[in-house]
Amino acid sequence: MRQIRSLNASWYYSWGSAYTVTTKPAFVPMVWSANALLRKDALGDVARQLPQTRTKHLLAFNEPDHPGQASMSVDEAIRLWPHLQSTGLRLGSPATVDVRSPWLDHFMARARPANLRIDFMTMHHYGSPNPESFLAKVWYLHHRYGRPVWVTEFGVADWQATPAHPSRYTTRETAYFMQVAVAGMRLMPFVERFAWKARDPSDPAMGPSALYQTNGRLTSLGRLYASL
Protein backbone atom coordinates (compact mmCIF):
# COMPACT_ATOMS: atom_id res chain seq x y z
CA MET A 1 0.00 0.00 0.00
CA ARG A 2 2.81 2.40 0.91
CA GLN A 3 4.52 1.74 -2.41
CA ILE A 4 1.44 2.52 -4.49
CA ARG A 5 0.69 5.68 -2.55
CA SER A 6 4.29 6.86 -2.82
CA LEU A 7 3.74 7.25 -6.58
CA ASN A 8 0.86 9.71 -6.04
CA ALA A 9 -1.20 7.46 -8.31
CA SER A 10 -4.89 8.17 -8.82
CA TRP A 11 -5.63 4.54 -9.75
CA TYR A 12 -4.07 1.13 -10.11
CA TYR A 13 -4.82 -2.39 -11.28
CA SER A 14 -3.27 -5.79 -10.65
CA TRP A 15 -4.18 -7.84 -13.75
CA GLY A 16 -6.80 -9.49 -11.53
CA SER A 17 -10.46 -9.18 -10.63
CA ALA A 18 -10.15 -8.72 -6.86
CA TYR A 19 -8.28 -5.95 -5.11
CA THR A 20 -5.59 -7.11 -2.70
CA VAL A 21 -3.89 -3.91 -1.58
CA THR A 22 -6.13 -0.88 -1.23
CA THR A 23 -9.07 0.92 -2.77
CA LYS A 24 -7.39 4.32 -2.29
CA PRO A 25 -6.04 4.99 -4.88
CA ALA A 26 -8.91 3.53 -6.86
CA PHE A 27 -8.67 -0.11 -7.93
CA VAL A 28 -9.80 -1.13 -11.43
CA PRO A 29 -10.52 -4.87 -11.89
CA MET A 30 -9.56 -6.91 -14.91
CA VAL A 31 -10.93 -10.12 -16.44
CA TRP A 32 -7.55 -11.39 -17.58
CA SER A 33 -8.63 -14.28 -19.81
CA ALA A 34 -11.41 -16.69 -20.73
CA ASN A 35 -10.24 -18.94 -17.91
CA ALA A 36 -10.56 -16.11 -15.38
CA LEU A 37 -14.09 -15.45 -16.58
CA LEU A 38 -15.38 -19.01 -16.88
CA ARG A 39 -13.47 -20.90 -14.18
CA LYS A 40 -12.27 -18.38 -11.62
CA ASP A 41 -15.48 -16.37 -11.20
CA ALA A 42 -13.82 -13.07 -12.05
CA LEU A 43 -17.13 -11.27 -12.46
CA GLY A 44 -18.24 -12.62 -9.08
CA ASP A 45 -15.18 -10.96 -7.55
CA VAL A 46 -16.03 -7.70 -9.26
CA ALA A 47 -19.62 -7.76 -8.04
CA ARG A 48 -18.78 -8.78 -4.46
CA GLN A 49 -16.19 -6.05 -4.07
CA LEU A 50 -18.14 -3.30 -5.77
CA PRO A 51 -19.28 -1.79 -2.42
CA GLN A 52 -15.59 -1.35 -1.55
CA THR A 53 -14.06 -0.53 -4.94
CA ARG A 54 -16.96 1.52 -6.30
CA THR A 55 -15.37 0.99 -9.66
CA LYS A 56 -17.01 2.29 -12.79
CA HIS A 57 -14.57 0.56 -15.13
CA LEU A 58 -13.57 -2.96 -16.14
CA LEU A 59 -10.46 -4.03 -18.04
CA ALA A 60 -10.60 -7.10 -20.24
CA PHE A 61 -8.42 -9.81 -21.78
CA ASN A 62 -4.71 -9.14 -21.39
CA GLU A 63 -2.83 -9.59 -24.68
CA PRO A 64 -5.20 -12.16 -26.19
CA ASP A 65 -2.99 -12.22 -29.28
CA HIS A 66 -0.01 -13.51 -27.29
CA PRO A 67 0.35 -17.27 -26.66
CA GLY A 68 1.96 -16.63 -23.29
CA GLN A 69 -0.78 -14.29 -22.10
CA ALA A 70 -4.58 -14.55 -22.44
CA SER A 71 -4.17 -16.37 -25.77
CA MET A 72 -7.71 -16.12 -27.13
CA SER A 73 -9.20 -16.17 -30.58
CA VAL A 74 -11.32 -13.27 -31.76
CA ASP A 75 -14.29 -15.64 -31.96
CA GLU A 76 -13.89 -16.56 -28.30
CA ALA A 77 -13.55 -12.94 -27.19
CA ILE A 78 -16.64 -11.91 -29.15
CA ARG A 79 -18.64 -14.82 -27.73
CA LEU A 80 -17.69 -13.97 -24.13
CA TRP A 81 -17.99 -10.19 -24.37
CA PRO A 82 -21.71 -10.06 -23.43
CA HIS A 83 -20.77 -11.45 -19.99
CA LEU A 84 -18.54 -8.43 -19.41
CA GLN A 85 -21.11 -6.08 -20.85
CA SER A 86 -23.74 -7.38 -18.44
CA THR A 87 -21.88 -5.74 -15.51
CA GLY A 88 -22.93 -2.30 -16.73
CA LEU A 89 -19.37 -1.05 -16.15
CA ARG A 90 -17.42 0.96 -18.70
CA LEU A 91 -15.46 -1.61 -20.69
CA GLY A 92 -11.93 -1.29 -21.98
CA SER A 93 -10.98 -3.10 -25.15
CA PRO A 94 -8.72 -6.14 -25.01
CA ALA A 95 -5.14 -4.91 -24.70
CA THR A 96 -3.20 -6.38 -27.61
CA VAL A 97 0.57 -6.61 -27.93
CA ASP A 98 0.60 -3.74 -30.44
CA VAL A 99 -1.92 -1.05 -31.36
CA ARG A 100 -1.77 -2.11 -35.01
CA SER A 101 -2.57 -5.72 -34.16
CA PRO A 102 -4.68 -7.54 -36.79
CA TRP A 103 -6.36 -9.27 -33.84
CA LEU A 104 -7.64 -5.93 -32.53
CA ASP A 105 -8.80 -4.80 -35.95
CA HIS A 106 -10.72 -8.04 -36.41
CA PHE A 107 -12.24 -7.82 -32.93
CA MET A 108 -13.44 -4.25 -33.36
CA ALA A 109 -14.85 -5.02 -36.81
CA ARG A 110 -16.81 -7.96 -35.39
CA ALA A 111 -18.02 -6.03 -32.34
CA ARG A 112 -19.89 -3.34 -34.24
CA PRO A 113 -22.45 -5.51 -36.10
CA ALA A 114 -22.88 -7.60 -32.94
CA ASN A 115 -23.85 -4.45 -31.00
CA LEU A 116 -21.09 -5.04 -28.46
CA ARG A 117 -20.01 -2.12 -26.32
CA ILE A 118 -16.37 -1.03 -26.05
CA ASP A 119 -16.18 2.25 -24.18
CA PHE A 120 -12.45 2.95 -24.33
CA MET A 121 -9.36 1.50 -25.96
CA THR A 122 -6.48 0.07 -23.96
CA MET A 123 -2.92 -0.29 -25.17
CA HIS A 124 0.57 -1.52 -24.26
CA HIS A 125 3.86 -0.10 -25.46
CA TYR A 126 7.45 -1.21 -24.88
CA GLY A 127 10.44 -0.15 -26.89
CA SER A 128 13.26 2.34 -27.22
CA PRO A 129 13.18 5.69 -25.39
CA ASN A 130 11.50 7.42 -28.34
CA PRO A 131 8.53 9.39 -27.00
CA GLU A 132 7.49 10.67 -30.42
CA SER A 133 7.00 7.11 -31.71
CA PHE A 134 5.02 6.22 -28.60
CA LEU A 135 2.76 9.26 -28.79
CA ALA A 136 2.10 8.56 -32.47
CA LYS A 137 0.77 5.12 -31.48
CA VAL A 138 -1.51 6.66 -28.84
CA TRP A 139 -2.85 9.10 -31.44
CA TYR A 140 -3.31 6.27 -33.95
CA LEU A 141 -5.31 4.11 -31.54
CA HIS A 142 -7.72 6.91 -30.73
CA HIS A 143 -8.25 8.00 -34.32
CA ARG A 144 -8.49 4.46 -35.64
CA TYR A 145 -11.36 3.51 -33.33
CA GLY A 146 -12.76 6.85 -32.19
CA ARG A 147 -12.70 6.14 -28.47
CA PRO A 148 -10.85 7.41 -25.39
CA VAL A 149 -7.56 5.70 -24.60
CA TRP A 150 -6.06 4.09 -21.51
CA VAL A 151 -2.35 3.27 -21.76
CA THR A 152 -2.36 0.41 -19.28
CA GLU A 153 1.28 -0.60 -19.76
CA PHE A 154 4.13 1.49 -21.11
CA GLY A 155 7.83 1.68 -20.54
CA VAL A 156 11.28 1.40 -22.04
CA ALA A 157 12.46 -2.13 -22.79
CA ASP A 158 15.37 -3.76 -24.56
CA TRP A 159 14.11 -7.22 -25.50
CA GLN A 160 17.54 -8.22 -26.81
CA ALA A 161 19.12 -7.74 -23.39
CA THR A 162 20.54 -10.64 -21.38
CA PRO A 163 21.94 -10.92 -17.84
CA ALA A 164 25.43 -10.68 -19.33
CA HIS A 165 24.46 -7.75 -21.57
CA PRO A 166 21.66 -5.81 -19.85
CA SER A 167 19.59 -3.04 -21.39
CA ARG A 168 21.41 -0.72 -23.75
CA TYR A 169 19.14 2.11 -22.53
CA THR A 170 20.16 4.23 -19.56
CA THR A 171 18.08 5.55 -16.71
CA ARG A 172 18.68 9.05 -18.06
CA GLU A 173 17.27 8.10 -21.47
CA THR A 174 14.33 6.39 -19.79
CA ALA A 175 13.63 9.47 -17.67
CA TYR A 176 13.63 11.64 -20.79
CA PHE A 177 11.15 9.27 -22.45
CA MET A 178 8.92 9.28 -19.37
CA GLN A 179 8.85 13.07 -19.06
CA VAL A 180 8.06 13.73 -22.70
CA ALA A 181 5.58 10.84 -23.00
CA VAL A 182 3.60 11.88 -19.93
CA ALA A 183 3.60 15.53 -20.96
CA GLY A 184 2.41 14.51 -24.42
CA MET A 185 -0.41 12.34 -23.07
CA ARG A 186 -1.59 15.13 -20.78
CA LEU A 187 -2.03 17.29 -23.88
CA MET A 188 -4.21 14.64 -25.51
CA PRO A 189 -7.76 15.12 -24.19
CA PHE A 190 -8.72 11.60 -25.24
CA VAL A 191 -6.15 9.92 -22.95
CA GLU A 192 -8.05 9.15 -19.77
CA ARG A 193 -5.47 7.16 -17.80
CA PHE A 194 -1.99 5.69 -18.05
CA ALA A 195 0.21 3.36 -16.02
CA TRP A 196 3.96 2.84 -16.20
CA LYS A 197 5.11 -0.78 -16.24
CA ALA A 198 8.12 -1.43 -14.03
CA ARG A 199 10.17 -4.48 -13.19
CA ASP A 200 12.93 -5.17 -10.68
CA PRO A 201 16.08 -3.02 -11.07
CA SER A 202 18.05 -6.19 -11.85
CA ASP A 203 15.82 -7.16 -14.78
CA PRO A 204 18.00 -7.24 -17.92
CA ALA A 205 15.37 -5.87 -20.30
CA MET A 206 13.68 -3.27 -18.12
CA GLY A 207 15.98 -2.55 -15.17
CA PRO A 208 16.35 1.15 -16.10
CA SER A 209 12.53 1.45 -16.01
CA ALA A 210 12.30 0.34 -12.35
CA LEU A 211 10.23 2.58 -10.09
CA TYR A 212 11.23 0.84 -6.85
CA GLN A 213 14.52 -0.25 -5.37
CA THR A 214 14.78 -3.77 -3.94
CA ASN A 215 14.06 -2.31 -0.48
CA GLY A 216 10.76 -0.90 -1.72
CA ARG A 217 11.85 2.72 -1.84
CA LEU A 218 11.40 4.80 -4.95
CA THR A 219 14.21 4.95 -7.48
CA SER A 220 15.11 8.29 -9.04
CA LEU A 221 12.76 7.32 -11.89
CA GLY A 222 10.03 6.50 -9.38
CA ARG A 223 10.41 9.92 -7.79
CA LEU A 224 10.18 11.51 -11.22
CA TYR A 225 7.02 9.56 -12.05
CA ALA A 226 5.43 10.60 -8.74
CA SER A 227 6.09 14.23 -9.62
CA LEU A 228 4.54 14.17 -13.10
Report yes or no: 35 and 62 within 8 Å, Cβ to Cβ.
Answer: no
Domain span including residue 51: 2-227
What was the pLDDT predicted at 55? 97
Report yes or no: 14 and 1 within 8 Å, Cβ to Cβ.
Answer: no
How confident is the model over 32-74, as pLDDT tens digits? 999 999 999 999 999 999 999 999 999 999 999 999 999 999 9
Question: Which carries the bigger pLDDT value, residue 215 or residue 134?
Answer: 134
Q: For the chain, give percent helix, strand, coil, nearest 5.
A: 40, 20, 45
CATH of the domain at 21: 3.20.20.80
Residue 127 dihedral angles phi and psi, to the nearest 5°: 175, -155
Residue 66 dihedral angles phi and psi, to the nearest 5°: -115, 125
Domain count, the chain: 1
**What are the residues whose beta carbons fall under 8 Å from the beta carbon of 57, sequence distance 6 or more?**
28, 89, 90, 91, 92
Distance between first and last Cα of the chain: 20
Which segments of the chain does DSSP mark as H helices, in order? Answer: 2-6, 34-38, 42-53, 74-85, 102-111, 131-145, 171-186, 220-227
Q: Kindly report the pTM of this predicted structure.
A: 0.95
Q: What percent of the chain is modeled with pLDDT above 70?
A: 100
